[in-house]
Chain A
Amino acid sequence: MNISIEDQLGLISFEVDKEKHIKVEISICRQCVDKPCLKFCPSKRFTLEKGEIIHNYEGCLECGSCKFACPKGAVDFSYPRGGYGVYYKYG
Chain B
Amino acid sequence: MPFWKKEGPSLRACNFVICVLFLVVTLPRCVHLWLKNSIKMSEKFDVIIVGAGPAGCAAAYSLAKTGFNVLMVERGKYPGAKNVMGGRLYAYALNRLVPDFWKEAPVERCVTHEKLTLLSDKSSVTLDFQDKELLEPPNSFTILRARFDQWFASKAVEAGATLISNIRVDDLLWKDKKITGIVAGTDKLEANIVIAADGAVSLMAEKAGLKKFLAKGFAIGMKEIIELPEKTIEERFNLVSGEGTAQLFIGQCTRQIPGGAFVYTNRTSLSLGIVVYINQLIESKVEAYELMREFNSNPAIAKLIAGGKLVEYSVHVIPESSRTGLYTDGLLVVGDAAGLLVNSGITLRGMDMAIASGMAAAEAVKIAMGKNDFSKKSLSHYEYLLKQDFVLKDMHTFRRSPGFLQNTRLYSLYPELVCRLFHRLALVKGPKKRLFDELLEETKGKRVQMVWDLIKGLRAL
What is the distance, in angstroms, from B272's C-beta to the closest C-beta of chain A?
10
Q: In the assembled complex, which residues on chain B have CB atoms less than 8 Å from the CB atom of A64?
A: 200-201, 317
Give complex CA distance A50, B269 in Å. 42
Report B135-177 CB contacts with A as 1/0, cut-off 8 Å: 0000000001111010000000000000001111000000000
Q: In the assembled complex, which residues on chain B have CB atoms less than 8 Å from the CB atom of A67?
A: 201, 213
What is the distance, in angstroms, from B335's C-beta to the closest C-beta of chain A?
15
Of all chain A residues, the one with the shortest Cβ separation from B148 is A91
Report A1-45 CB contacts with B as 1/0, cut-off 8 Å: 111010011011001000000000000000000001011111110
State the main secondary structure of chain A at its contact with B.
loop
Give complex CA distance A42, B223 in Å. 10
What is the distance, in angstroms, from A61's C-beta to the closest C-beta of chain B?
5
Q: Does A82 contact B (CB under 8 A)?
A: yes
Interface residue total, chain B, C-beta cutoff 8 A: 57
Report A62-90 CB contacts with B as 1/0, cut-off 8 Å: 11110111010000011111110111111
Total A-B Cβ pairs within 8 A: 142
Q: Does B313 contact A (CB under 8 A)?
A: yes
Q: State whether B215 touches A69 (Cβ < 8 A).
A: yes
Q: Does B36 contact A (CB under 8 A)?
A: no
User: How many of chain A's residues touch chain B, expressed as a range?
Assistant: 35 or more
Give complex CA distance A79, B80 in Å. 15
Q: State whether B293 touches A3 (Cβ < 8 A).
A: yes
Give complex CA distance A15, B218 in Å. 27
What is the distance, in angstroms, from A59's C-beta to the closest C-beta of chain B?
11
Those of B208-267 within 8 Å (CB) of chain A: 213-215, 218, 220, 222, 224-225
Give complex CA distance A20, B286 in Å. 27
Q: In the assembled complex, which residues on chain A have CB atoms less than 8 Å from the CB atom of B82?
A: 62, 85-88
Those of B87-116 within 8 Å (CB) of chain A: none
Partner of B80, one of A8, A43, A91: A91
Q: State whether B289 touches A43 (Cβ < 8 A).
A: yes
Q: Taking beta carbons and an 8 Å cutoff, which residues of A are in contact with B?
A: 1-3, 5, 8-9, 11-12, 15, 36, 38-44, 61-65, 67-69, 71, 77-83, 85-91
Q: Taking beta carbons and an 8 Å cutoff, which residues of B are in contact with A?
A: 75-78, 80-85, 144-147, 149, 165-168, 184-185, 200-201, 203, 213-215, 218, 220, 222, 224-225, 269, 271, 278-279, 281-282, 285-289, 292-293, 296-297, 302, 305, 310-317
Between A and B, 26 residue pairs with Cβ closer than 8 Å are: A1-B296, A3-B310, A9-B313, A11-B310, A11-B311, A11-B313, A39-B282, A40-B282, A42-B220, A42-B222, A43-B289, A61-B314, A63-B201, A67-B201, A68-B213, A68-B214, A71-B215, A79-B168, A81-B168, A82-B165, A83-B76, A83-B77, A88-B145, A90-B311, A90-B312, A90-B314
**Known A1-B296, A69-B218, A89-B312; further 5 A-B contacts with Cβ < 8 A:** A64-B317, A69-B215, A82-B75, A88-B146, A88-B312
Q: Give me the 8 closest cross-chain CB pairs, A-B, nearest first.
A: A64-B201, A83-B166, A91-B146, A91-B145, A68-B213, A8-B313, A87-B81, A82-B168
